[in-house]
């Protein structure tokens, strides 16, 4: 016999769900998304050769960021020269970074609550 089978107690599952950044998300928070990193690697006015940008940002970031940055209209590739040129300023593209920072802040706050014994438990 148990207290539960006698009706003295009930069993209830408590779960806490929260967002946590991946390694890529952490990198996006500190450095920016791959698209943003590629954009930042370009000089403001004259643009740069694809090989030069790839050398600055690395092959993975270049592959991940170039196509999406083009789709977003952040940069273009000049016909004939193949140079990558900016279509927007990097200063106006801060929303994804702010969103990641908010997730990180909420995650850290959630971890502090859990470390303290949970909300309302007087940790």
The pLDDT tens digits for 71-113 are 999 999 999 999 999 988 766 665 555 555 555 555 555 555 5
Among 12-26, 47-61, 108-122, which is the least confidently predicted range? 108-122
pLDDT at 3 over 80: yes
- What pLDDT is attached to residue 91? 66
pLDDT at 43 over 80: yes
Residues 6+ apart with CB under 8 A from 21: 28, 29, 100, 103, 104, 107
Contact (Cβ atoms closer than 8 angstroms) between residue 18 and residue 106: yes
Distance CA 12, CA 19 (A): 23
Query: Domain-by-domain residue ranges, the chain?
Result: 23-115
pTM of the model: 0.59
Distance CA 74, CA 89 (A): 8
Q: What is the pLDDT of residues 23-38, one digit of tens each?
A: 888 887 888 889 989 9
Distance CA 35, CA 93 (A): 10
Distance CA 2, CA 8 (A): 9
Q: Average pLDDT, stretch 1-30?
A: 86
Distance CA 65, CA 31 (A): 13
Q: Which CATH number fits domain 23-115: 1.10.10, 3.30.1330, 2.30.30, 2.60.40?
A: 1.10.10
């Amino acid at each position: 016999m148990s207290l539960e089978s006698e009706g003295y107690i009930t069993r209830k599952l408590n779960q806490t769900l929260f967002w946590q950044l991946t390694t890529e998300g952490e990198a996006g928070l500190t450095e920016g998304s791959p698209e943003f990193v590629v954009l930042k690697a370009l000089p403001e006015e004259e643009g740069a050769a694809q090989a030069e940008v790839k050398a600055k940002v690395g092959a993975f970031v270049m592959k991940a960021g170039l196509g999406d940055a083009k789709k977003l209209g952040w940069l273009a590739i000049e016909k004939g020269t193949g140079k990558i040129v900016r279509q927007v300023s990097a200063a106006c593209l801060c929303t994804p970074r702010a969103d990641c920072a908010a997730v990180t802040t909420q995650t850290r706050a959630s971890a502090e609550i859990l470390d303290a014994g949970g909300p309302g438990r007087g940790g």
